[in-house]
């Protein structure tokens, strides 16, 4: 049986202060390989090179990864600020359209960190560029200046899940511990965005798209880290893989 093909959204980066590249964190690719045996292929965040209907014909599922750039505020009716750069409007243009099209066609979609934010904006939701600036919120960013991945991706806070919801059923628990490496986060959920998980400070951490005919879930934490070893992250990727297999079996 051929491996499922997973389209992985890439982010614009400048390497060595000179070269423009489209990049994806290696751990995302390893998670797809190690947990669900998939073949990941990068999708450049370059709208001029992409044909969304063709992507839907080619790929069995889509992973919306994290990324340093924030979603551009004009995508949800807010004004941009240099304080919250960088932005990646090329990725925005590809990802937002791709989310809506994939959900409509029941192609499985998993959003991680920036990916959950893209899913929210795709359905009319808003974001806050710096969650820690809101009253009562904690600092969700990674430790400043830290380079040890074990420290960067350590489990930092619990997520409280909706009893009987998709995530609680998936994880077999109504509370799980996760890492935290984000500044931007969901402010107002989109019309079809159902929040099923919150941090202690109320920050949305897990969503599903209401009425989606297929798998359409997003999480704010970096579930790609230790996806094979961490029980929560593994369960999420396994569910993603199971949804892809089910859809493929149905033709």
Q: What is the pLDDT of residues 15-33, one digit of tens each?
A: 999 999 999 999 999 999 9
Of the chain, the percentage scoring pLDDT greater than 70 comes to: 99
Query: In 10 A of CB 138, how many CB atoms?
Result: 16
Over 70: is that where the pLDDT of 251 sits?
no
Sign of CA dihedral 106, 112, 113, 114: negative
Of the chain, the percentage scoring pLDDT greater than 90 comes to: 80
Buried b (16+ CB within 10 A) or exposed e, 39-66: ebeebbbebeebeeeebbeebbbbbbbb
Task: Let me know if 75 is a catalytic residue.
Answer: no
- End-to-end Cα spacing for the chain: 14
Q: Burial of 12 by CB count in 10 Å (0-12 exposed, 13-18 middle, 19+ buried)?
A: buried
> Band of the pLDDT at 54, cuts 50, 70, 90?
very high
Instruction: Delimit the domains of the chain by residue range.
Output: 5-249
Task: Let me know if 146 is a catalytic residue.
Answer: no
Over 80: is that where the pLDDT of 146 sits?
no
> Band of the pLDDT at 111, cuts 50, 70, 90?
very high
Q: Mean of the pLDDT values across residues 168-175? A: 98
Task: Let me know if 250 is a catalytic residue.
Answer: no
pTM of the model: 0.95
Q: How much is the mean pLDDT over the chain?
A: 94
| CATH no. for 5-249 | 3.40.50.880
Q: Assess contact for 65 and 114: CB atoms under 8 A.
A: yes
Distance CA 5, CA 57 (A): 11
Set 12, 113, 128, 205: catalytic member:
113
| 3 state DSSP class of 194 | strand
Per-residue pLDDT tens over the stretch 193-245 = 999 999 999 999 999 999 999 999 999 999 999 999 999 999 999 999 999 99
Q: What is the DSSP string of 26-61?
A: HHHHHHHHHHH--EEEEE-S-GGG--HHHHHHH-SE
Contacts of residue 182, defined as CB under 8 A and 6 or more positions apart, other chains included, come to 66, 113, 131, 140, 141, 220
């Amino acid at each position: 049986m051929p491996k499922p093909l997973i389209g992985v959204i890439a982010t614009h980066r400048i390497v060595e202060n000179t070269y423009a590249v489209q990049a994806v964190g290696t751990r995302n690719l390893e998670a797809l390989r190690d947990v669900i045996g998939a073949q990941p292929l990068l999708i450049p965040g370059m709208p001029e090179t992409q044909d969304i209907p063709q992507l839907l014909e080619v790929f069995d599922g889509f992973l919306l990864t994290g990324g340093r750039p924030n979603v551009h505020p004009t995508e949800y009716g807010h004004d941009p600020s240099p304080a919250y750069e960088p932005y990646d409007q090329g990725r925005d243009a590809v990802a937002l359209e791709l989310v809506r099209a994939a959900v409509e066609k029941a192609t499985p979609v998993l959003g991680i960190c920036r990916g959950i934010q893209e899913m929210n904006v795709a359905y009319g939701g808003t974001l806050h560029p710096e969650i820690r600036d809101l009253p009562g919120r904690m600092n969700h960013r990674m430790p400043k200046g830290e380079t040890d991945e074990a420290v960067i991706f350590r489990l930092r806070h619990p997520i409280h899940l909706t009893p009987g919801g998709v995530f609680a059923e998936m994880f077999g628990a109504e509370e799980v511990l996760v890492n935290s490496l984000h500044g931007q986060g969901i402010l107002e959920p989109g019309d079809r965005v159902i929040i099923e998980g919150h941090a202690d400070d109320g920050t949305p951490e897990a969503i599903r798209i209401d009425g989606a005919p297929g798998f359409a879930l997003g999480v704010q934490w970096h579930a790609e880290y230790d996806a094979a070893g961490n029980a929560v992250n593994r369960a999420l990727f396994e569910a993603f893989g199971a949804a892809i297999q089910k859809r493929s079996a149905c033709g």
